[in-house]
Amino acid sequence: MLRATVGLRQDAVGQVELNLDEGLVGLAAERKSAVVIEHASKHARFKYFPETGEEQFESLMAAPLLVRGVALGVLAVQTIESRSFDREDVDTLVTCAHLLTPVVLNAQMIDSVAVSEEQRAVDDVTLALSGVPMRGRKQERESRSVEVRGIGTSRGIAIGPVAKLGHLDLERIDYSPRPSIEEEEVDLMQALHDARHDLDDTRKEMGEEFGPDLAAVFHTHIQILEDKGFLVKLQNAVRETGDGRAALRDVLAVYRKQFDRIADPYFRERAWDVEDVGRRVMARLLGVRQDTAPLSAGTIVVVDNILPGFFARLDLENVAAIVAEHGGATSHGAIFARTLEIPAVIGIPGLLEACHPGELAIVDGTEGTVHFSPDEHLVAEYERARQRYAVAIQHLDALRDRPAETRDGRRLRLTANVGLVSDLRLVEKHGGDGVGLFRTELLVLAHRGFPDEMEQRQLYERVASGMAPRPVTIRTLDLGGDKDIADFGLEDEENPQLGCRSVRLSLERAGVFRAQLRAILRASITRNVRLMLPMVSSLTELRRVKEIIAEARAELDKAGADYDREIPVGLMIEVPSAALIADLLAQECDFFSIGTNDLTQYTLAVDRSNEHVAHLYDPLHPAVLSLIDRSVRAAGRAGIPVSLCGEMANNPLAVPILVGLGIEELSGAPSSLPVVKEIIHALDAGDADADAREAREAATAEEVHAIAARRLRRAGLLDHADIGAWLRPIVERAERAI
Ligand code: PEP
Ligand code: MG
């Protein structure tokens, strides 16, 4: 149905209707890919509506606005004269569509609240035409409990007093409206205006402190504040009630209710953006910029959701941990907490009811548990664990400049896995030798849409120049599988881990891929960038990617752009097929990095994110070791470097085996580098080689654990002043299992 138009005849509005399977624009939505039609009038689906007074267009290029496989709309360009569109034209349109998608999505989400109750019932089937499924009634909260469990999203242990923060309870705050409705409205509008300014400042501050990737979140907030529907609703409500607080409360409640009915957590989480904006306005209306009291040192902050705005407002020095009732692991707040190394547990039903301000709490961000008012025994136990953890992490500060070298002089490079500019500080803090894995998909997540080429380039440049001359390995987009995190038009797949993920997805979106490659190449002028391809599973795939890289280089050459012509192009060994043909792959690439998170998943057929089979997931399984060994040997024969960047690099039991297998570089979480370095220092490479030989012959993962445990014990690591107490239970468990 034609609902609005600029350019067509106004009297056609509400009169002209087109099904999705009719017309040419709908073709792009139906196919979920860009379409180019040179002679529209000759096309079977061509439909012309004389009543709209539209011109007779002959050529058309259209790209869908896709969110998680759902077409929200179509961006089309038409010409009266017949013309052809080349690949660059299509790439540009597709990029524009990617950039527009989050804007349209936000507008639709916001707009969906504007419809009447009856209409909303209709919309329950589909949210604003987008096909986002709605869910049934809200689940009941669990009852109060001393120990509560959630999702541990940021590692570490903290013990401290609880402060419930940021929960501006619009029901309970002390607020007196102005005597006249007009004055109240003026105040509310002024609060909106001020909140808009705050957001601008916050966006700037966050951009300077953490980089453009995180600052992008605040674009969404600004968009909400600028939304006409939001404004009109508030105006109507304040005119009706004469009370700005009540107006805000009611409008936010409408939004919350509507968003809460969305089944998909990704979309549902967007409600918190509206909530955050609402609180900002309320804080302004109350005449306070900060809606939180100053914190005492070591506070456990309890919130209903970790909103991005908190990180700009909180006194982070005094925050020991964050616990949130709501939120998912992919929410921005969770990412911010991880980035800042603040232990965090989120998604705890009934949390706000279960705790009291000032009571003591223990947060274990690794296990995802929180204890309120714990007994002395538990506090003492966790205090020991906390100290062990803190000491182990601090140790690197003292060792920061020492190379990671075994007792007999075998040198390894210890690099970090990062995904945000702000992580670079942690690499410095923990003495990383560079970045072994830069996960570019986090930028897409923080952005809630696809960043343009310039923005990607700026980010990569900051990482490359910040680390120079140390190497930075930038991995191309690795979306899909368990990283279903982006507005990337991912289809729902029966089996996403085996589906169109990672480099396969990049090959399907060649335009977006080329843009990313150009951005990485341009950032390589510091001559310390390596380009890495995730999840390559065949030589054909590698060759196809290299063709696209050659195209991207040719485009840069044509534009006269500078980049590192010697940039190493390597691939991740993440699937068994790659390890099995490693000799062939090594002939055609410049380095390997073994991604054991996926290699373990695919070798053992164990979903890495399924807790029911987690006990079967073990990178020290002899089958996985055999594939690692095979890849290392192939790299050696071809004379190319090989690193390992899975979580295995952080596993103390894996370190002696990996050293013995001849891995030259281990890339892990920045905070785990100190422990790994300590272990390497205590080892003798000759012993590690013998361990690796034995491990390769081992029949079970338990045997491998025991071999590694024996080495850590013999190397004297259990008596290590800093990490001994932390390693002891790990080693003893491994010894007992055999
Ligand atoms: C891996 O699979 O080991 C890896 C490092 O990649 P990711 O964890 O991002 O899939
Ligand atoms: Mg992987």
pLDDT score at 129: 35
Q: Is 478 touching ligand 1 by the criterion CB < 6 Å?
A: yes
Read off the tokens for 584.
């062939």
Q: Is 441 touching ligand 1 by the criterion CB < 6 Å?
A: no
Q: Are 26 and 18 in contact (CB under 8 A)?
A: yes
Split at pLDDT 50, 70, 90, the class of 141 is very low
The answer to whether position 174 is within a domain reads no
The answer to whether position 645 is within a domain reads yes
pLDDT score at 577: 98
Q: Are residues 569 and 458 in the same domain?
A: yes
Question: Within 10 Å of residue 229's Cβ, how many Cβ atoms?
Answer: 16
Q: Is 439 touching ligand 1 by the criterion CB < 6 Å?
A: yes
Q: Are residues 376 and 428 in the same domain?
A: no
Picking from 462, 414, 421, the residue whose alpha carbon sits closest to that of residue 216 is 421
Q: Which of 30-34, 65-69, 251-255, 638-642 has the lowest average pLDDT? A: 65-69
C-alpha 338 – ligand 2 centre gap (Å): 19
pLDDT score at 563: 98
Q: Whose CA is nearest to atom 6 of ligand 1?
A: 595
User: Which ligand is closest to the CA of 594, given by its number?
Assistant: 1
196: CATH: 1.10.274.10
C-alpha 419 – ligand 2 centre gap (Å): 14
Q: Is 574 touching ligand 1 by the criterion CB < 6 Å?
A: yes
| Ligand 1 atom, smallest distance to 593 CA | 5
End-to-end CA distance of the chain: 69
Amino acid, single-letter form, for residue 25: V
Residue 132 has pLDDT above 50, yes or no: no
- For 506, phi and psi rounded to 5 degrees? -60, -40
| Ligand 1 atom, smallest distance to 439 CA | 9
Q: Are residues 367 and 470 in the same domain?
A: no
pLDDT score at 38: 87
Q: Are 513 and 437 in contact (CB under 8 A)?
A: no
| Ligand 1 atom, smallest distance to 534 CA | 6
Report how far apart, in Å, the C-alpha atoms of 160 and of each of 145, 321, 362, 393 are: 18, 9, 7, 20
Report how far apart, in Å, the C-alpha atoms of 143 and of each of 139, 146, 306, 484, 694 are: 12, 10, 22, 32, 52
Picking from 490, 677, 603, 428, the residue whose alpha carbon sits closest to that of residue 67 is 490
Q: Which of 66-80, 137-151, 492-506, 707-721 has the lowest average pLDDT? A: 137-151
Q: Whose CA is nearest to atom 8 of ligand 1?
A: 597
* Cα 198-204-205 angle, rounded to 5 deg: 85
- For 56, phi and psi rounded to 5 degrees? -85, 100
Q: Is 646 touching ligand 1 by the criterion CB < 6 Å?
A: yes
Question: Within 10 Å of residue 555's Cβ, how many Cβ atoms?
Answer: 17
Q: Are residues 507 and 453 in the same domain?
A: yes
Active site annotation includes 645: yes
- With a pLDDT cut of 90, the percent of the chain lying above it is 40
C-alpha 169 – ligand 1 centre gap (Å): 41
- Domain-terminating residue out of 254, 286, 318: 286
Q: Domain of 93?
A: 10-129
In terms of average pLDDT, the best of 103-112, 259-268, 403-412 is: 403-412
Q: Taking the mean position of all CA atoms in its chain, how far away is CA 652?
A: 26
The answer to whether position 134 is within a domain reads no
3-state helix, strand, coil in the chain (%, to 5): 50, 15, 35
Q: Are residues 331 and 315 in the same domain?
A: yes
C-alpha 416 – ligand 2 centre gap (Å): 15
Q: Across the chain, which distance is largest between two alpha carbons, in Å?
A: 87
Report the C-alpha dihedral over residues 688, 692, 698, 703, rounded to 10 degrees: 40
Helix (H) or strand (E) segment spanning residue 345: strand 344-346
Q: Are residues 448 and 304 in the same domain?
A: no
C-alpha 663 – ligand 2 centre gap (Å): 18
Split at pLDDT 50, 70, 90, the class of 225 is confident
The answer to whether position 469 is within a domain reads yes
480: CATH: 3.20.20.60
Q: Whose CA is nearest to atom 1 of ligand 1?
A: 595
Q: Where are the beta strands (DSSP E) in 3-69?
A: 35-37, 59-67
Q: CA-to-CA distance for 405 and 676, rounded, in angstroms?
A: 11
Q: Which of 222-231, 253-262, 311-320 has the lowest average pLDDT? A: 253-262
Task: Out of 335, 338, 415, 439, give the residue to mutate to test ligand 1, the one with the largest number of ligand atoms within 8 Å of its CB.
Answer: 439
Point out the catalytic residue in the list 355, 395, 621, 645: 645
Q: Whose CA is nearest to atom 4 of ligand 1?
A: 595
DSSP state of 272: H
Instruction: Give the residue with greater pLDDT, 183 vs 543.
Output: 543
Read off the tokens for 214.
């995180």
Q: Are 151 and 305 in contact (CB under 8 A)?
A: no
Q: CA-to-CA distance for 521 and 544, rounded, in angstroms?
A: 18
User: Which ligand is closest to the CA of 599, given by its number?
Assistant: 1
| Ligand 1 atom, smallest distance to 601 CA | 2
C-alpha 482 – ligand 1 centre gap (Å): 11
Q: Are 484 and 267 in contact (CB under 8 A)?
A: no
Picking from 518, 497, 448, the residue whose alpha carbon sits closest to that of residue 607 is 497
pLDDT score at 41: 82
Provide the domain count of the chain.
Answer: 4
C-alpha 716 – ligand 2 centre gap (Å): 34
Point out the catalytic residue in the list 332, 371, 705, 720: 332
The answer to whether position 423 is within a domain reads yes
The answer to whether position 617 is within a domain reads yes
User: Which ligand is closest to the CA of 437, given by its number?
Assistant: 1
Grouping H, G, I as helix, E, B as strand and the rest as coil, residue 473 is strand
- Domain-terminating residue out of 286, 311, 333: 286
Dump pLDDT digits (tens) for 322-339. Answer: 999 887 665 667 767 876
Q: Are residues 244 and 367 in the same domain?
A: no
Q: Is 595 touching ligand 1 by the criterion CB < 6 Å?
A: yes
Q: Are 522 and 459 in contact (CB under 8 A)?
A: no
Q: Are residues 386 and 458 in the same domain?
A: no
Q: Are residues 345 and 423 in the same domain?
A: no
C-alpha 419 – ligand 1 centre gap (Å): 12
User: Which ligand is closest to the CA of 595, given by its number?
Assistant: 1
Q: Whose CA is nearest to atom 7 of ligand 1?
A: 597
Q: Are residues 160 and 98 in the same domain?
A: no
User: Which neighbouring-strand residues pair with 437?
Assistant: 417
Q: Are residues 37 and 64 in the same domain?
A: yes
- With a pLDDT cut of 70, the percent of the chain lying above it is 84
pTM attached to this predicted model: 0.68
Active site annotation includes 96: no
Question: Could you identify the residue written with the tokens 């609880």?
Answer: 162
Mean of all residue pLDDT scores within the chain: 84
Q: CA-to-CA distance for 625 and 1, rounded, in angstroms?
A: 60
| Ligand 1 atom, smallest distance to 481 CA | 10
C-alpha 438 – ligand 1 centre gap (Å): 11
DSSP character string of 611-679: GGGGGG--TTSHHHHHHHHHHHHHHHHHT--EEE-SGGGG-TTHHHHHHHHT--EEEE-GGGHHHHHHH
Evaluate the omega torsion of the peptide bond into residue 403 and state whether it is cis, within 30 degrees of 0.
no
Question: Within 134-243, where are the H helices?
Answer: 181-210, 212-215, 217-226, 228-241
- For 713, phi and psi rounded to 5 degrees? -65, -50
Grouping H, G, I as helix, E, B as strand and the rest as coil, residue 726 is helix
Q: Which of 22-26, 488-492, 589-593 has the lowest average pLDDT? A: 488-492
Q: Is 597 touching ligand 1 by the criterion CB < 6 Å?
A: yes
Q: Are 594 and 613 in contact (CB under 8 A)?
A: no
Q: CA-to-CA distance for 406 and 401, rounded, in angstroms?
A: 15
The answer to whether position 58 is within a domain reads yes
The answer to whether position 1 is within a domain reads no
Q: Is 501 touching ligand 1 by the criterion CB < 6 Å?
A: no
User: Which ligand is closest to the CA of 666, given by its number?
Assistant: 1
344: CATH: 3.50.30.10
52: CATH: 3.30.450.40
Q: CA-to-CA distance for 735 and 707, rounded, in angstroms?
A: 9
DSSP character string of 649-661: GG-TTHHHHHHHH
Dump pLDDT digits (tens) for 523-581. Answer: 999 999 999 999 999 999 999 999 999 999 999 999 999 999 999 999 999 999 999 99
Task: Out of 572, 573, 617, 631, give the residue to mutate to test ligand 1, the one with the largest number of ligand atoms within 8 Å of its CB.
Answer: 572
Q: Are residues 589 and 695 in the same domain?
A: yes
- Domain-terminating residue out of 286, 306, 323: 286
